[in-house]
Amino acid sequence: MYRSYGYLRPGADLPDFDLAPEFGRVPPYSGGLSEQERERAGRLLRDTIVISLHDHPVRFPADMRQTPEYNRTGRQHTAFAGLLASGMTVVFDNMMDGTACVTGNAPWRWLDIITDLGMRQADIAHQSDVIVIRTMDDIEHAHRSGKVGLLFGLEAATPIENEIDRLDVLYGLGLRQIGIAYSDANALGSGLNETTDGGLTDFGRRAVARMNQLGLAVDISHSSDRTGLDVCAVSERPVFMTHAGARAVWNTPRMKPDDVLRAVAETGGVIGMSAAPHTTLSEAHPRHTILSVMDHFRYCLDLVGIDHVAFGPDTLYGDHVGLHTVFGHLLKVGAAAPAGPSFPKVEYVDGLENPTENFANIAGWLVREGFSDSEIAAVLGGNILRALQRIWA
């Protein structure tokens, strides 16, 4: 099995870090499935086009405190073995540019983005099990051939600054999905942590129009409420909320209110359930596990219907809780601290800890809860495919 950047000499051509494992970092999740349920879930995972709306399928240092130094190399190590064992067909891979301070001390620098896109694709070009997704045909090819496709995206359009043509450049370099703003506001609109929600700017409206023209999928996961509503109002294509949850289930700024969730669905878009640690909690399951996440899934399903829900677990290979500690100043974790009831801290989200295990456990839960094969196929990837056919047309 090819190891990321295997064409280079560790310690000579690039620093040699002790990276988190792709398997067995935490105990496996016990879903309590019968043998028949397990077989059915496995069959659905094999036969269905399975798409994660948001994950980071890369390995981090085993000691998360080394991550700033690791990021300085400009090389995120793709977890090739873990991806092949995941059952996923496509991963919306948003890289890690909210923390990837390669050439400076702040995220979202244009040169860092270009470096990240180029380095990742140079690495992928040296093996054949994982491919880059740019078209619907690429997705079909990945499914038929048993490969895993990475669909590159950004969580914020901050790097384009006020140069709208940079969207074309990013598209030309392989990007196929982009967020409007992260926690901080930018030239396009407000992020979710701004004190004043200014919504989408005039430049942001022009940018959304260009995204529609190019075929760049638009994401509002980290945008403010007003910005999200404005994007849905002006976009002529379906809008994604790749990784979030429902504020009615857990009242924090990171979760989305009903009007924003409905607005996404009304565009023909899809809402992906996140599982980043200590985000998608619920009063029924305040200890963050797959059960907490599924409380958000149930709520969104009831609110907008089965055609507009999916999963964007937002996981990685390594200590995700530790990442939030190391990069809290950039991720604004504290600013989005839950306003709801107190909750116990966890070391990891049981059942949705990394990209390898996520969809086997999601499929198992859906089977055990009595969803039909067609419903499961829709939320595992069919809904996303339908939206992409309109976005990429």
Instruction: Provide the 10 A C-beta neighbour count for residue 233.
Output: 15
Q: How many C-beta atoms lie closer than 10 Å to residue 58's C-beta?
A: 23
Q: What is the pTM of this model?
A: 0.96
pLDDT computed for residue 131 by the predictor: 98
Tell me what pLDDT residue 353 has: 97
Q: For strand 217-219 and strand 239-244, is the pairing parallel, antiparallel, or unpaired?
A: parallel
Q: Which residues contact 324 (CB under 8 A, 6 or more apart)?
A: 277, 278, 331, 333
Helix axes 202-214, 225-234, angle to 10 degrees: 50
Q: What span, in angstroms and rounded, lies between the C-alpha atoms of 227 and 370?
A: 37
pLDDT in 10s for each residue of the chain, 393 residues: 999 999 999 999 999 999 999 999 999 999 999 999 999 999 999 999 999 999 999 999 999 999 999 999 999 999 999 999 999 999 999 987 877 778 888 788 999 999 999 999 999 999 999 999 999 999 999 999 999 999 999 999 999 999 999 999 999 999 999 999 998 999 999 998 899 999 999 999 999 999 999 999 999 999 999 999 999 999 999 999 999 999 999 999 999 999 999 999 999 999 999 999 999 999 999 999 999 999 999 999 999 999 999 999 999 999 999 998 887 665 554 444 445 568 999 999 999 999 999 999 999 999 999 999 999 999 999 999 999 999 997
The angle subtended at Cα 58 by Cα 52 and Cα 61, nearest 5°, is: 145
Neighbouring residues of 161: CB distance < 8 A, sequence distance ≥ 6: 110, 187
Give the integer Cα–Cα distance in Å for 321 and 183: 18
